[in-house]
Chains A and B, each alone.
Chain A
Amino acid sequence: MESIYWPTFFFWLFSLISCSFAVGVLLARNIVRMAFYLVLALAATAGLFFLAGADFVGAMQLMIYVGGTLVLLIFGVMLTSQERFIEMKTSSGEWVVALLLGGMLLGILLQAAMAVPAWQGMDRAAAEATKVEKTATPLGMGLLGVRVDQLDEQDESRRKGMSGYLFHFEIVSVHLLVVLVGAAYLARAKRKRGRDELAGTGSNAT
Chain B
Amino acid sequence: MIHLPLAHLLSEPVGVSHYVMVGAVLFTCGVLCMATKRNALGVLMGIELVLNGANLNFIAFGSHVLRNDANSLGLDGQLISMFVIVLAAAEAAVALAIALNYYNNHDSIDVDRADELLG
Q: Report whether over half of chain B's contact residues are helix, strand or loop; otherwise say mixed.
A: helix
CB <8 Å contact, A186 and B26: no
Residues of chain B lying within 8 A (CB to CB) of residue A138: 75
- Is A88 interfacial (CB-CB < 8 Å)? yes
CA distance A5 to B10 in the complex (A): 6
Residue of A nearest to B65 (CB): A53
CA distance A65 to B75 in the complex (A): 21
CB <8 Å contact, B10 and A190: no
CA distance A150 to B76 in the complex (A): 11
Partner of B86, one of A114, A116, A147, A176: A176
Interface size, chain B (Cβ < 8 Å) = 85
Residue of A nearest to B75 (CB): A149
Residue of B nearest to A109 (CB): B24
Partner of B14, one of A61, A121, A143: A121
Chain A-chain B contacts (Cβ-Cβ < 8 Å), number: 280
CB <8 Å contact, B56 and A105: no
CA distance A52 to B44 in the complex (A): 27
CA distance A121 to B87 in the complex (A): 31
Report the interface size class on chain A.
35 or more
CB <8 Å contact, A76 and B41: yes
Residues of chain B lying within 8 A (CB to CB) of residue A179: 90-91, 93-94
Residues of chain B lying within 8 A (CB to CB) of residue A110: 21, 24
CB <8 Å contact, B100 and A130: no
26 contacts between A and B (CB under 8 A): A1-B1, A8-B14, A19-B26, A25-B45, A31-B39, A42-B52, A49-B56, A52-B19, A53-B63, A54-B81, A57-B59, A61-B85, A76-B41, A77-B41, A79-B100, A110-B21, A110-B24, A112-B20, A113-B21, A118-B16, A142-B79, A143-B79, A165-B79, A172-B83, A183-B93, A194-B104
Known: A135-B75, A186-B97. 8 other contacts (CB 8 A): A1-B3, A5-B12, A8-B10, A35-B45, A42-B52, A48-B22, A88-B38, A110-B21
